[in-house]
Amino acid sequence: GAGVSQSPSNKVTEKGKDVELRCDPISGHTALYWYRQSLGQGLEFLIYFQGNSAPDKSGLPSDRFSAERTGGSVSTLTIQRTQQEDSAVYLCASSLGPPAPLHFGNGTRLTVT
């Protein structure tokens, strides 16, 4: 079956612009996660959706970052007024819920110039 799909695969934007990153999780997966990996760094947790529960937003680095998950499926991560330090690979993952393993997409490489 299809895996986790992320779009776009690459995004170059100017500082100050807003960007939207999309994630299509595996059908039936109730949990959805966003992580990011900056150059030479590990995986930094951003936000976690689990079923109908309130999302865990504890990893969002600033109020410029927001995410939503519509209909329990597709998720969009929005970064407003992008800064150069936002440049990273943004990874989405889904799972059947803890402790089931996460399935990752190939990520969106965001470059802010």
Task: Enumerate binding residues for another protein (CB under 8 A).
Answer: 4, 33, 35, 41-43, 45, 48, 50, 56, 58-59, 91, 93, 97-99, 101-107
Nearer to another protein, 86 or 90 (CB): 90
Q: How far is the CB of 81 from another protein (least distance, A)?
A: 26
Q: How far is the CB of 105 from another protein (least distance, A)?
A: 5
Q: Where on the phi/psi map is residue 102: left (φ > 0), alpha (ψ -120 to 50), or beta? A: beta
Query: Do the beta carbons of residue 110 and residue 88 sit within 8 Å?
Result: yes
Nearer to another protein, 72 or 80 (CB): 72
DSSP state for residue 56 in the 8-state scheme:
B
Nearer to another protein, 48 or 65 (CB): 48
Query: How far apart, in Å, do the first and last CA atoms of the chain sit?
Result: 37
Q: How far is the CB of 13 from another protein (least distance, A)?
A: 20
**Rounded Cα gap, residues 33 and 16, in angstroms:** 25
